[in-house]
Each structure stands twice: as structure tokens, then as C-alpha cells.
Amino acid sequence: MTQTLKSCLRPLLPKTLRPHRILAGPLRGRRIVTSWHDYPGAISGRTERALLDWFSRNVRSGETWLDVGAHYGYTAIALSSLVGPRGRVFAFEPMLATAGCLARTRWLNRLPQLTIVPVALGSPTDSSELCKLPPVRGMVDVTAPAGEWSETILVVRLDWLWPRISGDCQRIDGIKIDVQGMELQTLRGMCDLLRTSAPHLVIEFHRGVDRGTCLDLIAAQGYAPRGTPIDATEPEGEPLYLDDRSYAFPPARRSCGS
């Protein structure tokens, strides 16, 4: 379906936020609280197929993963299933209404290993700051044009926050980032943890984000400066770092005992 057709059909779809059973795909039968208007791909089970396949090959039982920009929790469900009851998933979603839906999704699917953290990750000068951003289909989006309404969200540096919420084990095995244009700020706020924990890193890039600066920053933390496309349909060769596509950056090394 083309983007033009999607944009024409979306206003006609129901906007009521309620529990839905996922109809197909790897998460078939799981429940998610969203609407047909906001996230039809999650309800139909036709979204993020390549990313979920990558998760199935790289996420292990008992690990700790961060879902940064969790939205209504589609990828958080997948990660929680893979890490199992001995693992942990921290889902960061700054829109409070959406985080509330995610909390219901957690309960409906009986996922005690999932923790919802209702903040955005960035790089404020202090430990945290408030920011106003336009909302789009249950998420705040830096790339969206400013409208009549904005959401006030709390932005926190992960390097400051993680020691305060991680409990006895501060190890991080993987981080998935999908933050609608805040990729660079998010990465800047977690540099210490990237160096010390060396987690798997998956980033979805969006319009207007300087790829070169992001890649240089990732490389400076000990990662290879070249990501691997998650979507196998991307042509072979140098990654294109396309908008709305995810790329995996494996750690160059793991620190012992982190």
C-alpha cells in the first residue's frame, strides 16, 4: 500500500484506543492496546517483520533490553517474549496517554519482565528538562510540523537515569532506538553506557537527522562506523541509511562484569 493511499484511508479508521488481538505475524494472538487509526500495522501484525526477525536471532533469554521510543508496545511485546521471565525490558515512552496504553498491554499479556518508563531519552544540559513537541498518532515527533497542539514531555539523560532505575544489575545487552528525529540527542545522552556495557544497538533513522554525525558518535563509543540494514530488501553494498529504516550496530567488544 502506498503512503498516499495510507494517508487517505487513515482518517476513516476508528480512533478508539482499546485492546486488540494481533491478527497475524510472530506476535499473533498477543494483545495490544491501540487504535486502528494510530497503529493499524500492529493490530494486523504486518509491521516490523524484519526487525522482529532480527530480534529472534539476536535477543537471548535472561538479557536486559531497552526499547527507546516504545509507542504502543509492539516491539516491547516481542522483546519481552524473547528475554523471558528471567530477563528485563525497559520501555521508554514519553507520551503519558500512550504509556498508559502500554501499561495495559503489559498487564493483558502478563509480562512482569516489562517496565514502562514514561520519559524521553535525550541529552539535556542538566539531568532532565521539559520539552514541547507535536503529537502524531500516539507519539511525539520532532520531524512533524508544529500544529495547534503540543505535548509536554520529560527528557532525561540515560547515563544519569539508568543507575537510578536498573537495580542491582546495570548490564544492558541491547538498545532499540526509534525516536522520530531525536536520534542524535538520544545517543549523546547514553555515551557512557554505550562504552561500558557495549550493548547491541538498533537505530531507526528519520527525516532530517544528520547520519554522518550519528555514525561518528557511534564509532567514538567503540562501535564499527557502518551499520547493517535490518531490512534485507535494501541493496547490497554501503548502507544507505534511509528514512524510516532500522540498522544494527553490533558491539565491538563486551566489558566484563558490566
pLDDT along the chain (258 residues), means of 10: 64 92 98 97 96 97 98 98 98 97 98 98 94 93 86 96 95 97 97 96 96 96 91 84 94 53
What is the arrangement of strands in the sheet containing 120-121, beginning at the earlier edge strand?
Answer: 120-121, 151-156, 128-133
Domains of the chain, start order: 48-249 (3.40.50.150)
CA dist 74 to 2, 30, 98, 150, 234, Å?
A: 22, 10, 12, 24, 23
- In angstroms, rounded to a whole number, what is the distance separating the alpha carbons of residues 59 and 52? 10
Q: The whole model's pTM is what?
A: 0.93
pLDDT of residue 236: 77
> Among 65, 93, 71, 81, which Cα is nearest to 27's?
81
Q: Interior CA angle at 25 toward 227 and 80, to 5°?
A: 65
- In angstroms, rounded to a whole number, what is the distance separating the alpha carbons of residues 83 and 62? 5
Q: Which long-range contacts (CB under 8 A, 24 or more apart) does 184-188 make?
A: 184/209, 184/210, 184/213, 184/214, 184/217, 185/122, 185/123, 185/155, 186/68, 186/120, 186/121, 186/122, 186/123, 186/158, 187/214, 187/217, 187/218, 188/122, 188/123, 188/217
pLDDT of residue 185: 97
